[in-house]
Structure 1
Amino acid sequence: MGGLLYLYGLVPSEEVSGRSFPTLKGFDGKGDLFTIQIENITAIVCYLAAENYSEESIKERINNDMEWLQEKAFHHHETVMQLSKIFTIIPLKFCTLYHTQDSLETSVHSNESKIAESFALIDGTEEWNLKIYCDDALLKKQVSQNNDKIEAKRAEINRLPKGKQFFAKKKLDKLIETELEEEKIRVSETIHLHLKELALKGNVKSTWSNEATGRKDNMTWNGVYLVSQSKVDSFLEQIQQYDKNMREKGWQFKATGPWPAYHFSSVS
């Protein structure tokens, strides 16, 4: 059998040795996954027919066939998820392909030190995602009533002649919006820094639009954290405590995981 090699991830060879490898279908739904040992690093791959999965054809499907993209992206993610329950895995990006085994081995050797560092970092850890949501209308009311800058601006407006108050109130509305956004950032950053103390690492991702989340409240924070397995319970309990204490003020916290270490084990 020949063709392209689709790479799902890299695992320490010592974790594969002497252990039965799970039977999992590959990217085309026909062949099975298998391993290629490259000294201390083992690649988990499947074969793909080159004539069906050329770079051009894959780009065409990604750009023009949403059903295919969703199906294959789900397959990749679910496969990596299953492998992560068995091995310490460095997950590779969707559609990481090699033309030959030699090219794969060359790539692994050239990144060997980085791969070893990633294995050391993610061993015995879990990746968790936290999305923070906020009811802007509720928080805006709180900010409007408990902000020194806004109170000072209101007092200034009350001293103005009636004719000038209209335009001044327009500026006050803009000030309230600015203070609302700053409050959301301040609260979210404070929580993020606290959670980082319970984690090995923590990164910030882009927030999602309401169209993407399907929610009415806005996402104000999107963070990912690499947490030692021994501290996962404490990490999640802290998030639950935030949610309990802040829900009446319009805040909600959604933690998901554990995920493969997508954000903390990147290898080109």
Structure 2
Amino acid sequence: MGDLIYLYGLIPTKEVASHQSFPSFKGFDGVENLYTISRNQVTAVVCNLDRNDYSEQVIKEKVNNDMEWLQEKAFHHHETLTALYKTFTIIPLKFCTIYENEENLRETIHGNEEKLESSLTLLHGSEEWNVKIYCDDNDLRKQVDVNNSTIQAKKQEISGLPRGRQFFEKKKIDQLIETELEKEKNRVCENVHEKLKEHSLHAAIKKNWSKDVTGLKENMTWNSVFLLPVPQVEHFLEEIKNFEKELEGTGWRFEATGPWPAYHFSSFSKVRN
């Protein structure tokens, strides 16, 4: 029946043709080399896999039960795409995108050719960047307590009450501070996101990571990705530095990483045929 086809990504055929030879990379099994399969203006970067060793059932069991294997293979997939991205415009495919044979892969490319060419045009000359925003709630809480007008108004209101009532009303202050703290976090993050969007072609908001994942003392309060035209990258990073200066000492920290293969802006379904 032949080998399975592991698909890493899709690149413009004209970019492949402009290189004398395709870069040499080991494939998913660590033995076979990567090679290309072209269909008109779209070229797939693939490797062969033995169907006995990499059947759907085998991979499912590995993913669910062998964390070391999963980490090793996921790292290989990401590192391969990152290396290809340095040379080619690429639509990166999800981890373990596998086809039964070359014919099925060609059919899938043919059925999505217009969409793929449009995506490659969009991605050419663009970079994906990730911005994570962290907040030390304790530091920001102090700022909110002192500077928030709603809290100050509540404190002023309480100060005019009889002492007996003040005791109970002051308990509500803590709840109010927590509410205003969350409002302030959302306000700052949304403001930063909107400003950064001005430099991008597209932007998306991702799920925040917990402290168990980040290993940091601060909470991640925002996690977003941006597709940037290369000439805008410097302005984008300068904008982040401006926010860092503006919010210095108030508990905020920004982390910009990139460029990455455009995982979030090159939609192409994971298909196994």
Report the TM range for the smaller structure's normalisation: over 0.9
CA distance in 1: counterparts of 2:129 and 2:85, whole angstroms: 14
CA distance in 2: counterparts of 1:8 and 1:201, whole angstroms: 23
State the partner residue of 1:46.
47
Shift of 1:265: 0.5
Root mean square deviation of aligned Cα: 1.4
Q: Normalising to structure 1: TM-score of the pair?
A: 0.96
Bigger mean CA deviation after superposition, 71-80 or 139-148: 139-148
Bigger mean CA deviation after superposition, 240-249 or 99-108: 240-249
- The 8 Å contact of residues 8 and 46 in structure 2, kept in 1 or not, is answered as yes
Shift of 1:13: 0.5
State the partner residue of 2:221.
220
Bigger mean CA deviation after superposition, 88-97 or 216-225: 216-225
Bigger mean CA deviation after superposition, 11-20 or 243-252: 243-252
Seen in structure 2, the aligned counterparts of structure 1 residues 237 and 26 have a Cα distance that, compared at 3 Å, is same
- The 8 Å contact of residues 2 and 47 in structure 1, kept in 2 or not, is answered as no
- The 8 Å contact of residues 130 and 254 in structure 1, kept in 2 or not, is answered as yes
- The 8 Å contact of residues 26 and 46 in structure 1, kept in 2 or not, is answered as yes
Shift of 1:143: 0.8
Shift of 1:164: 3.4
The amino acid across from 1:134 in the alignment is C
CA distance in 1: counterparts of 2:121 and 2:83, whole angstroms: 20
Bigger mean CA deviation after superposition, 88-97 or 57-66: 57-66
CA distance in 1: counterparts of 2:168 and 2:98, whole angstroms: 60
Query: What does residue range 142-221 of structure 1 map to in structure 2 within 5 Å?
Result: 142-221=143-222
Q: Normalising to structure 2: TM-score of the pair?
A: 0.94
The amino acid across from 1:33 in the alignment is L
The amino acid across from 2:112 in the alignment is N
State the partner residue of 1:10.
10
Shift of 1:241: 2.2
State the partner residue of 1:56.
57
State the partner residue of 2:26.
25
2:194 aligned counterpart, secondary structure: helix
State the partner residue of 1:126.
127
The amino acid across from 2:266 in the alignment is S
CA distance in 1: counterparts of 2:153 and 2:247, whole angstroms: 27
Shift of 1:105: 1.2
Stretches of structure 2 that go unaligned for 5 or more consecutive residues are: none
CA distance in 2: counterparts of 1:196 and 1:113, whole angstroms: 27
Can you list the C-alpha shifts for 1:86-123, whole angstroms capped at 9, x where unaligned? 11000000000000111111111222222122111111
CA distance in 1: counterparts of 2:227 and 2:67, whole angstroms: 31
Shift of 1:167: 3.4
State the partner residue of 1:235.
236
Percent identical across equivalent pairs?
Answer: 57
State the partner residue of 2:255.
254
State the partner residue of 2:87.
86
CA distance in 2: counterparts of 1:140 and 1:32, whole angstroms: 55
- The 8 Å contact of residues 13 and 41 in structure 1, kept in 2 or not, is answered as yes
Can you list the C-alpha shifts for 1:101-149, whole angstroms capped at 9, x where unaligned? 1111111122222212211111101111111111111111111111122
- The 8 Å contact of residues 3 and 50 in structure 1, kept in 2 or not, is answered as yes
Determine whether 1:67 maps to 2:68: yes
CA distance in 1: counterparts of 2:168 and 2:32, whole angstroms: 70
CA distance in 1: counterparts of 2:40 and 2:167, whole angstroms: 74
State the partner residue of 2:112.
111
Bigger mean CA deviation after superposition, 241-250 or 141-150: 241-250
1:173 aligned counterpart, secondary structure: helix
- The 8 Å contact of residues 26 and 32 in structure 1, kept in 2 or not, is answered as yes
The amino acid across from 2:4 in the alignment is L
User: How many positions carry a matched residue from both structures?
Assistant: 268
CA distance in 2: counterparts of 1:23 and 1:124, whole angstroms: 24
Shift of 1:214: 1.0
- The 8 Å contact of residues 41 and 117 in structure 2, kept in 1 or not, is answered as no
1:157 aligned counterpart, secondary structure: helix
Stretches of structure 1 that go unaligned for 5 or more consecutive residues are: none
